[in-house]
Protein backbone atom coordinates (compact mmCIF):
# COMPACT_ATOMS: atom_id res chain seq x y z
CA UNK A 1 0.00 0.00 0.00
CA UNK A 2 1.36 3.43 -0.97
CA UNK A 3 2.15 6.00 1.71
CA UNK A 4 -0.56 8.57 2.20
CA UNK A 5 0.09 12.15 1.13
CA UNK A 6 1.14 14.46 3.95
CA UNK A 7 -0.38 17.96 4.13
CA UNK A 8 1.37 20.76 6.00
CA UNK A 9 -1.06 22.34 8.49
CA UNK A 10 1.40 24.57 10.37
CA UNK A 11 4.95 25.11 11.48
CA UNK A 12 6.85 25.53 14.70
CA UNK A 13 8.08 29.08 15.19
CA UNK A 14 10.01 28.97 18.45
CA UNK A 15 10.10 27.66 22.01
CA UNK A 16 7.71 29.38 24.42
CA UNK A 17 8.68 29.62 28.06
CA UNK A 18 10.95 27.25 29.95
CA UNK A 19 8.76 24.12 30.22
CA UNK A 20 9.08 22.91 26.63
CA UNK A 21 6.04 24.59 25.07
CA UNK A 22 6.27 25.65 21.44
CA UNK A 23 4.78 28.59 19.59
CA UNK A 24 3.28 27.44 16.29
CA UNK A 25 1.77 29.08 13.23
CA UNK A 26 -1.42 27.44 12.01
CA UNK A 27 -2.17 27.18 8.29
CA UNK A 28 -5.71 25.99 9.07
CA UNK A 29 -8.94 27.90 8.63
CA UNK A 30 -9.95 28.60 11.31
CA UNK A 31 -6.48 28.61 12.93
CA UNK A 32 -7.63 26.68 16.02
CA UNK A 33 -8.34 23.65 13.81
CA UNK A 34 -4.62 22.86 14.19
CA UNK A 35 -5.37 21.83 17.77
CA UNK A 36 -8.14 19.44 16.70
CA UNK A 37 -5.71 16.87 15.29
CA UNK A 38 -4.92 14.34 18.04
CA UNK A 39 -1.61 13.53 16.43
CA UNK A 40 0.57 15.19 13.82
CA UNK A 41 3.89 14.56 12.11
CA UNK A 42 6.76 16.80 13.17
CA UNK A 43 10.33 16.12 12.11
CA UNK A 44 9.10 12.93 10.40
CA UNK A 45 7.77 11.44 13.64
CA UNK A 46 4.19 10.97 14.80
CA UNK A 47 3.58 13.13 17.85
CA UNK A 48 0.59 13.90 20.06
CA UNK A 49 -0.07 17.59 20.61
CA UNK A 50 -2.13 19.49 23.14
CA UNK A 51 -2.39 23.22 23.34
CA UNK A 52 -4.35 26.41 23.21
CA UNK A 53 -4.59 29.45 21.02
CA UNK A 54 -2.81 32.62 22.14
CA UNK A 55 -3.82 35.33 19.73
CA UNK A 56 -2.96 34.34 16.18
CA UNK A 57 -0.61 31.52 17.27
CA UNK A 58 -0.97 28.15 18.95
CA UNK A 59 0.98 27.27 22.06
CA UNK A 60 1.51 23.52 21.96
CA UNK A 61 3.10 20.85 24.09
CA UNK A 62 4.62 17.65 22.73
CA UNK A 63 4.90 14.46 24.72
CA UNK A 64 8.43 14.05 26.10
CA UNK A 65 9.48 17.68 25.57
CA UNK A 66 9.92 19.07 29.06
CA UNK A 67 12.28 22.06 28.75
CA UNK A 68 13.31 24.92 26.48
CA UNK A 69 16.50 23.18 25.32
CA UNK A 70 14.55 20.15 24.10
CA UNK A 71 12.01 22.44 22.42
CA UNK A 72 14.70 24.39 20.53
CA UNK A 73 15.38 21.52 18.11
CA UNK A 74 11.83 21.84 16.72
CA UNK A 75 12.19 25.48 15.59
CA UNK A 76 11.19 25.80 11.92
CA UNK A 77 9.79 22.25 11.65
CA UNK A 78 6.64 21.61 9.63
CA UNK A 79 3.50 20.28 11.27
CA UNK A 80 1.77 17.84 8.92
CA UNK A 81 -1.14 15.42 8.90
CA UNK A 82 -2.18 12.62 6.59
CA UNK A 83 -4.59 13.81 3.89
CA UNK A 84 -7.33 11.53 5.25
CA UNK A 85 -7.36 13.51 8.53
CA UNK A 86 -8.61 16.67 6.80
CA UNK A 87 -12.35 17.30 6.87
CA UNK A 88 -14.23 17.12 3.56
CA UNK A 89 -14.90 20.42 1.82
CA UNK A 90 -18.05 21.85 0.31
CA UNK A 91 -18.43 22.12 -3.46
CA UNK A 92 -16.20 24.89 -4.81
CA UNK A 93 -13.79 24.84 -1.85
CA UNK A 94 -10.20 23.65 -2.15
CA UNK A 95 -7.26 22.90 0.06
CA UNK A 96 -4.29 25.01 -0.99
CA UNK A 97 -2.11 21.91 -1.16
CA UNK A 98 -4.45 20.52 -3.85
CA UNK A 99 -3.92 23.62 -6.02
CA UNK A 100 -0.13 23.51 -5.93
CA UNK A 101 1.30 22.04 -9.13
CA UNK A 102 -1.78 22.76 -11.25
CA UNK A 103 -1.36 24.40 -14.66
CA UNK A 104 -2.77 27.90 -14.98
CA UNK A 105 -4.33 28.76 -18.35
CA UNK A 106 -5.90 32.08 -19.34
CA UNK A 107 -8.98 32.65 -21.49
CA UNK A 108 -6.81 32.90 -24.62
CA UNK A 109 -5.53 29.35 -24.00
CA UNK A 110 -2.07 30.57 -22.99
CA UNK A 111 -0.41 28.52 -20.28
CA UNK A 112 0.82 31.06 -17.72
CA UNK A 113 2.68 28.47 -15.68
CA UNK A 114 2.18 26.23 -12.66
CA UNK A 115 0.98 27.12 -9.16
CA UNK A 116 4.09 27.11 -6.98
CA UNK A 117 2.33 28.05 -3.74
CA UNK A 118 -0.35 30.29 -2.26
CA UNK A 119 -0.38 32.91 0.45
CA UNK A 120 -3.03 35.16 1.93
CA UNK A 121 -2.95 38.91 1.56
CA UNK A 122 -5.61 39.27 4.25
CA UNK A 123 -8.62 39.50 1.97
CA UNK A 124 -8.11 36.44 -0.23
CA UNK A 125 -5.51 33.86 -1.25
CA UNK A 126 -2.94 34.67 -3.93
CA UNK A 127 -1.76 32.08 -6.46
CA UNK A 128 1.99 32.34 -7.08
CA UNK A 129 2.41 31.09 -10.62
CA UNK A 130 5.85 30.15 -11.95
CA UNK A 131 6.26 30.20 -15.71
CA UNK A 132 8.03 32.05 -18.47
CA UNK A 133 6.94 35.18 -16.60
CA UNK A 134 6.09 34.64 -12.94
CA UNK A 135 2.87 36.22 -11.75
CA UNK A 136 0.59 36.48 -8.75
CA UNK A 137 -3.13 36.01 -9.32
CA UNK A 138 -5.82 36.65 -6.70
CA UNK A 139 -7.71 33.39 -6.08
CA UNK A 140 -11.11 35.02 -6.46
CA UNK A 141 -13.64 32.61 -8.00
CA UNK A 142 -15.84 34.31 -10.60
CA UNK A 143 -13.58 37.34 -10.78
CA UNK A 144 -10.08 36.16 -11.71
CA UNK A 145 -10.51 32.40 -11.43
CA UNK A 146 -13.05 30.91 -13.82
CA UNK A 147 -12.69 27.22 -13.04
CA UNK A 148 -10.62 24.75 -11.03
CA UNK A 149 -10.45 21.26 -12.50
CA UNK A 150 -8.52 19.00 -10.13
CA UNK A 151 -8.93 15.96 -12.40
CA UNK A 152 -7.40 17.83 -15.35
CA UNK A 153 -4.78 19.49 -13.07
CA UNK A 154 -5.79 22.88 -14.42
CA UNK A 155 -7.00 26.29 -13.27
CA UNK A 156 -8.67 28.55 -15.87
CA UNK A 157 -8.20 32.25 -15.16
CA UNK A 158 -9.18 35.66 -16.48
CA UNK A 159 -5.65 37.03 -16.44
CA UNK A 160 -3.50 38.62 -19.15
CA UNK A 161 0.24 38.24 -19.54
CA UNK A 162 0.58 41.98 -19.01
The domain limits of the chain are 6-85, 96-157
Q: Alpha helix locations (H) across the chain?
A: 68-72, 96-99
**Mind listing the pLDDT tens digit for each residue in 108-119?**
999 999 999 988
Say if CB 20 and CB 74 are below 8 A apart.
no
Say if CB 22 and CB 62 are below 8 A apart.
yes
Q: Domain 6-85 belongs to what topology?
A: Elongation Factor Tu (Ef-tu); domain 3 (2.40.30)
- Tell me whether the CATH fold assigned to 6-85 matches the one assigned to 96-157: no
Mean pLDDT for 51-59 is: 91
Euclidean distance between CA atoms 60 and 96, whole angstroms: 24
**Mind listing the pLDDT tens digit for each residue in 28-49?**
888 999 999 888 999 888 888 8
3-state secondary structure of 129: strand
Euclidean distance between CA atoms 101 and 143, whole angstroms: 21
What CATH code is assigned to 96-157? 2.30.30.240
| Band (93; pLDDT cuts 50, 70, 90) | confident
The pLDDT score that the predictor gives to residue 130 is 94
The pLDDT score that the predictor gives to residue 2 is 45
Q: Is 89's pLDDT higher than 50? A: yes
Q: Is 70's pLDDT higher than 50? A: yes
Amino acid sequence: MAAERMIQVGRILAPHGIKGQLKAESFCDPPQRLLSFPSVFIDGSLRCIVGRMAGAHALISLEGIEDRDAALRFRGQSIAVERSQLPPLAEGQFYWADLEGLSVVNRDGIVLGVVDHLFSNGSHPILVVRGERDCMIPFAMGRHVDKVDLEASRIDVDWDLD
